Structures are given as structure tokens and as C-alpha cells.
Structure 1
Amino acid sequence: MAKKPANASKSAAYHHGDLKRELVAAGRRVLEESGVEGLSLRGVAREAGVSQAAPYHHFADKDGLLAAIAAKGFGELSAEMAKRSAGSENPGAHMGGLGAGYIVFAFQNPELFRLMHGPRFVAAEKYDDLLVIAAESFTMLRDGVAACLNGASETEIDTVCTAAWSLVHGASMLIVDKRIDAGTTVEEIAAFANDLTSRVPIGPRL
């Protein structure tokens, strides 16, 4: 029996509609290695092993691909926050888990994190799907704050949300930019995040 070409399974997958997913995965690899400015559709096509024209079947331009990469990142961010806050014994500990998930995700995906929170996607009418999934993590944060501040006004909840988000996002950017030494492993970063968020007096931790 003739041996299949090495790329046979990849080609078959593309014909079954997986090309878009592979381009997003390839784009993410290029992003983490070269940053936003070093990413091009041509380079992503090369990374994915497809023709230079192939990305244009799914993305109008580079920003379209970046929006898809960012959307996947926001889904993973929410998942990490949910994982680290699951099973918490009280609202304060739940908030600590949400914060740890946020900071750990940034530590593990620095260039993706920069893309997700950068200025490229401010046009809601063009990227509303991205903005919807991006809002999920903030909704998790707001629900967590509301649980800690039972009976608080909407204004108070909004203010505390801003304070809590500023804390974890600021710490995340300091870690991503290597401005502070919070650890070199996920475990060390998670411990740092838990200690940091425990200093926000919005609910019991024990």
C-alpha cells in the first residue's frame, strides 16, 4: 500500500472546514513569537503550511485574524478564571480565584494578553462578536463583587469592580512587561495573585 503524504491528514482536515481554526492557532503561535507587529497573513499562511491566498477565504485582513485570535483568548481567560475560582468556600475566596486566573492567564500568554487588551478592537460595529465574549470575564468579576457586597448599590459595585480590575490588570501588565518578579512558574504566579487579591477588603477569605 502506498504511503500517505505527510500532509495528507492536514489537507483532509482543511477540506472539512478546519482551516479557519488552524489559521487562528498558527496566528497565535506567530503572535507569541513575534508580537502583533511581526504577524502577517503571509507569515501565518507559511506557519500553517497553506497557500498565501488561503487566509483570505476566512479573514478580510490582518485585523480580522487578530480579532479571532483575541476572541479565543478571551474564552480561555474566562475558563481559567472559572477553573481557579471553582469550589471556593466564600465570596472573598471566589474573588481571589478569579484574580488568580486572570493573572496566571496573562503570565502564560503575554503577547496574546497584550493583543486582547490593546487598542485595535474599539469599533464595536466591526467586532461585536469579540466584544461579547470579552465581556464574559468582566461579568464574572462583577458577579463576584456583587456577591461580596450583598445589598450594595449598583454604583458601589461598579466602583469596586473598577478597583479590583485595576489591581489584577495592573499586576498582570507588570508581570507581562517584566517590571516585577512575581515568580517563574504558574504555581508561583498563582500564589502571588492569591496574596495580592487577599489584600482587597471586599469580603471574608476564611
Structure 2
Amino acid sequence: MNSVKMAGRAYHHGALREALIDAAEAIIAERGVEGFSLREAARRAGVSPAAPGHHFGDARGLLTAVATRAFRDFGDALEAGTTGEDPRERIRGQGIAYVRFALANRARFELMWRKALLDREDPDYCAAGDRAFLLLDRAARGAGAPEAPDLTVLAPSIAAWSIVHGFVELALSGAFGTGPEELEAATEQLLPRVLDHLVAAG
């Protein structure tokens, strides 16, 4: 029987997995990664403390599932932000999408890069992360660029990634202000000008 009944709730196997991910996301958003626990995720999902272990093994497994979902959403945001054939417009659009996703999903975005807390060998996590980088790579090197045999060929993509990710870290730390209007102005007005220097240098 693929259902768990606890605390008056009934879940199909897949629905319980998603409910636990939802609960974990809520905890992280409220308390940060350090405030996360499997027991609290189970309590919020209305299941026994042992239930998360059946789906994720341990806290690392559940956090990896949260990070995987975040990377998928991140990839969707990057894809939506990539428009046109002009390299300058592609990089601008994707950079803005990158920053906006991070600002709107601070806790999830932070978790995506906390490798020590995640299962870096998880195939779903790897696939979601690889997709996001491929989108960045296509924006920086062009959709028709050949697969890169080494990091040297990926230099334009890594340069763009480094600049935008660094911009995110500055924005999250309050370097451009803390109010929504200040952050939006930095994203819309400052970031494109920063990225234009990258394209000009290339």
C-alpha cells in the first residue's frame, strides 16, 4: 500500500515525498539551513518522524531533493530569460534572471551551493545543475558552440557565471541597498552595464 496515514492525513507515495520537500523548503525559508531538521519536516507534513527516512534516507537526502527542485526552477528561470541571438542580449537577460531568482529565493539559492550538505552524486541533482550550467554556457558561447573538452574552452561561460554570481552575493549582502526598489534598480540598471564590459572584453 503506497500511502502513509498519520495525524489525520493520507498521502500517496509521491505526494508524501513532495509534501516533505515543501515542508523542508518552508523550514529553510524561516530558519535557514542550520535550523532544518527531519523531525520538524515530518511534523509539518503530518507524518511520523521515521517517514522521511523511507523516502530520503537522511537529512542530506531531503536537502538534496530541495536543492534539486531549486536548480530545476533556476534552470527554468534562466531559460525564460534567454532571448534573441545577440550575445549581449542573451547574457543580459540571463544575468537578470539569475539575480532575480536568487533575490526571490534566498534560502533555496543558498542551499543549492552548500555542497557539503548535499549528495553531490545524486543523479537528479547533477542533471538539474548540469542543465542550468548548459543554459549559461549557451548564452555565453552561443547555442551552436561545441561541447567543451576542458575548462579553458569554457572560459567565457565561467567568466559570465563568476560575474553574475558575485553580483548576487554582493546584492544579498546589502552592497546595493536592502530595499526592493534599490535591489531592482541594481539588477535592471547596474548589472547590464557590468555584463556589457564582459561582452566587450570578449
Q: TM-score range by the shorter chain?
A: 0.7 to 0.9
Query: Could you tell me how far apart the structure 2 residues matched to 1:92 and 1:149 are?
Result: 16
Aligned to 2:94: 98
Cα distance, 1:149 vs structure 2:
10
Deviation at 1:183, TM superposition (A): 5.4
Match of 2:160 in 1: 164
Residues 190-199 or 54-63, more deviating: 190-199
Please tell me whether the aligned partners of residues 102 and 109 of structure 2 are also in contact (alpha carbons under 8 angstroms): yes
Give the aligned partner of residue 3 of structure 1.
Answer: none
What's the TM-score once normalised by structure 1's chain length? 0.80
Matched letter for residue 119 of structure 1: K
Corresponding letter in the other structure for 2:28: L
Greater RCO, 1 or 2 (C-alpha within 8 Å, sep 6+): 1
Shift of 1:122: 6.9
Shift of 1:203: 9.0
Q: Which whole-Å CA distance do the structure 1 matches of 2:91 and 2:106 have between them?
A: 22
Aligned to 1:134: 129
Give CA-to-partner distance per residue, 1:107-147, whole Å, 9 cap, x none: 1111211110123267644x232112111111111112222
Q: Which runs of 5+ in 1 are unaligned?
A: 1-6
Q: Matched residues, percent identical?
A: 31
- Which amino acid is the alignment partner of residue 193 of structure 1? L
Distance (Å, rounded) in 2 between the aligned partners of 1:130 and 1:16: 20
Taking the aligned partners of 2:199 and 2:174, their CA distance within structure 1 comes to 27
Distance 2:164 2:179 in 1: 16
One-letter identity of the residue aligned with 1:197: L
Amino acid at match of 2:41: V
The answer to whether the Cα contact below 8 Å between 1:102 and 1:168 also exists between their aligned partners in 2 is yes
In the aligned structure 2, how far is the partner of 1:45 from the partner of 1:26?
8
Tell me the distance in 1 between the aligned counterparts of 2:70 and 2:20.
14
2:198 to 188, 197, 200: 200
Q: RMSD of aligned C-alpha atoms?
A: 2.9
The count of aligned residue pairs is 192
- Tell whether 2:194 aligns with 1:177: no
Distance 1:73 1:189 in 2: 23
